[in-house]
Structure 1
């Protein structure tokens, strides 16, 4: 009878203690996980009343990070573009110096040297316009996967047409040659010598700048388009790069036989006028790139602040209070130890222990 009573009493209490022990063990495991990971739970479902806030904040942080990556990509692109435009501007400045030496009485050797320099510059200009950054062409605008220059500038059909026009100067005036070569450079036919997307007027080309998303319904321009510019005039195609290309092609077509003629001098002076506009246009482009760079720097700082604020909010929702966790973990460990002691003592109890 005593054994039955003891067994019954121990069995009922033991079951309750076992349940309490399992619950305390689970609580201890959770607290230990919080102490080791620093977060209340790796499972959003167990965050309680802060779950909704955490679920909303995490994708917001991911979105801000994505925008910041776009800004970084654009900044890298602009850095390369600015450097390349600077090299093209240096080329234009050097051409101005060359044209100054070609005015007046010059030797056939000087003209031949200028022609060879222009041909070399044409090759360099084509390579610069096809510069890539991150696998995309920086002067192609929206069509960044397509090279802006589709053929070698010095051997293009445009270069050949300009050469034929310059050779005909003896049969016409220099003003006719300047007008005709300018008209040829304005040609927006595909592969003359630009890709299909860039073979358009300068104003339309300017609208094809690559756009980068940097915020909700917010985009910024990143770079320039090779053929962009303003409305054409009697001395310019409207595009600084098209004008530089045309001027180089004309100089590359000059022959030593042209030295000393009145038409030759007028032709060079006409190129000087156009090329002065080229250097000014490239300076404006460099300035616009600088404005884009400054804007992106400000945007990057703002996004960094936004991400920090959102991360702080997410931390408030998810991060564990380690000081509080330490106290709770200690209390739970003590309760577990007490439960183990009770269960151990109950095993030796008899009916007399209940009386």
Structure 2
């Protein structure tokens, strides 16, 4: 009888203690996880009523991070573009110096040297325009996977056509050569030397600038297109880079020109005027890139502030109060220890222990 009572009493109390012990163990484990990870729960379900806000904040942070990444990529592209454009401007400036020399009293040998330098500059210009940032051609705009220039511009059909026009100077005159070479440069066929998408008028080319997503329903222009510019005129194709390329091709074709010919002098003067305008156009393009860079820098700063605010909100929802967790963990550990002691003591109890 005593054993029966003892068994019954112990069994009932033991069951309750076991349940309490299980609950305390689970609570202790949860608190230890919070203390080690710094978050309330490793799942949204464990956040209770706060999970709705957390579920909304996390995608927002991911989206803002993606926009920031787009801007970083674009800024790197713009930095490279500015550097390359500076080198192209140097080619244009060097050509201006060459033209100043050719405008003076020169020999056929000097003209031949200038022609060879122009051919070398054409090769360099083509290589610069085909600069890549990663797998993307920085001067190709929307068609960034396609090289803007096909091969060496000095070996293109355009170069051959311009050379033929220059060789007719003695017959057609300098004015005709200046006009016809501009027309040829402004209407080059696909891949001679520019890619099909860039073998178009300057304003249409400008519309092909790369656009990046910088926010909800927000995009920004990042870069320039090789053949972009304004409407053509009697002295320009409208595209500074096209003008520079044409000028180099004309000089590269002067090997047999007579420096004492009046048409020669007029031709050089016309090239100087066009090239000076091309240098100004390249400077304007650099300014456009600078505006884009400044705009993206401001947008990036705003997105960083937004990301910081959203992260703080998410932290308020998910992060554990470590000071409070420490206190609760200590209390829970003490309760667990007490429960273990009670259960251990109960194992040795008899009916007399209840009397």
- What residue in structure 1 maps to residue 71 of structure 2? 71
CA distance in 2, matches of 1:353, 1:188: 108
Match of 1:113 in 2: 113
1:245 aligns with 245
Partner-residue secondary structure (3-state), 1:149: coil
Q: Deviations over 1:201-260 (max 9, x none)?
A: 000100100011111111111110000000000010000000000000000000244211
Deviations for 1:264-317, whole angstroms, at most 9, x for unmatched residues? 000000101111110010000000001111111111111111111111111100
Separation in 1, partners of 2:171, 2:348: 127
Map Cα deviations across residues 98-146 of structure 1 (whole Å, 9 max, x no partner): 1111114311111111101100100000000000012100000000000
Structure 1 distance, partners of 2:194, 2:94, is 24
Q: Which residue of 2 aligns with 1:294?
A: 294
Provide the secondary structure at the position in 1 that maps to 2:200. Answer: coil
**Matching residue of 2:19:** 19
Sort the Cα spacing of 1:237 and 1:257 in 2 relative to 1 into closer, same or farther, 3 A: closer
The CA RMSD measured in Å over matched residues stands at: 0.9
CA distance in 1, matches of 2:134, 2:313: 34
Deviations 1:307-349 (A, max 9, x none): 1111111110000000100111111111111111111221222
Aligned ranges 1:17-166 → 2 under 5 Å: 17-166=17-166
Which residue of structure 2 aligns with residue 182 of structure 1?
182
1:348 aligned partner? 348
TM-score normalised to the size of structure 2? 0.98
In 2, the alpha carbon distance for the partners of 1:255 and 1:138 equals 34
Deviation at 1:188, TM superposition (A): 4.3
Counterpart contact for 1:188–1:201, Cα < 8 Å? no
Q: 1:189 deviation in Å?
A: 2.4
Q: Residue in 1 aligned with 2:211?
A: 211
CA distance in 1, matches of 2:189, 2:131: 22
Q: Would you say 1:173 and 2:173 are equivalent positions?
A: yes
SS in 1 for 2:327: helix
1:316 aligns to what? 316
Contact 1:78-1:293 at 8 Å conserved across structures: yes
Give the number of equivalent residue pairs: 355
Q: What is the CA–CA distance in structure 2 between the aligned matches of 1:191 and 1:315, rounded to whole Å?
A: 55
User: Secondary structure of 1:47's match?
Assistant: helix
- Structure 2 distance, partners of 1:226, 1:130, is 9
TM-score, length basis structure 1: 0.98
Q: Which runs of 5+ in 1 are unaligned?
A: none
Specify the alignment match of 1:196 in structure 2.
196
In structure 1, the partner of 2:282 is 282
Contact 2:153 2:192 in 1 (8 A): no
Q: Is the 8 A contact 1:130 1:137 kept in 2?
A: yes
Q: Which moved more, 1:344-353 or 1:270-279?
A: 344-353
Q: Is the 8 A contact 1:150 1:194 kept in 2?
A: yes
Alignment CA distance shift 1:244-1:147 (3 Å)? same
